[in-house]
Amino acid sequence: MRGPTLAAVILFVMGTTLAQQPVRGPHDKPLKMGQADANTFVGIISDSFCGPRHKLPDKSAEECTRTCQRKGAHYVLVAGEKTYQLSGRADDLGYLAGQKAKVTGSVQGDTIAVGSAIPTE
């Protein structure tokens, strides 16, 4: 019995790779930065020391955010032209440091009390 042909292997690899991609419907578009609705915001998880521009040139946005947070900075959401202080869910925010995220929660002034935070495109 012969092993799988090259064509069979390629089809298998392509099928498993495509199966891992998120399925998008016709209405699933990448979310724009800013306030999506009254309690939903999309932006980059950053820190209060750096905000939209990270100041540690030798580190990625993720590493810089986590480094600054360990030094006393608070997590913030840079959502377009606006920056919101984030409170609560520190573990979720740490996991998403330097990434684009969708944050839901209640807003008071420039602070979002985070109910949930998930990565987004």
φ, ψ of residue 89 to 5 degrees: the values are: 55, 40
- Please state which of the four CATH numbers 1.20.950, 2.40.50, 2.30.40, 1.10.150 is assigned to the domain occupying 30-119: 2.40.50
Could you tell me which of 121, 25, 41 has the C-alpha nearest to residue 78? Answer: 41
Look at 48 and 121; give whichever has higher pLDDT.
48
> Domain residues of the chain, as ranges?
30-119
Q: What is the pTM of this model?
A: 0.71
User: Above 80 in pLDDT, residue 114?
Assistant: yes
Token pair in block for residue 29: 């578009």
Q: What is the number of alpha carbons within 13 Å of residue 39 lying toward its C-beta?
A: 7
Q: What is the pLDDT of residues 63-110, one digit of tens each?
A: 999 999 999 999 999 998 899 999 988 888 889 999 999 999 999 999
Strand 100-108 and strand 34-37: the pairing is unpaired
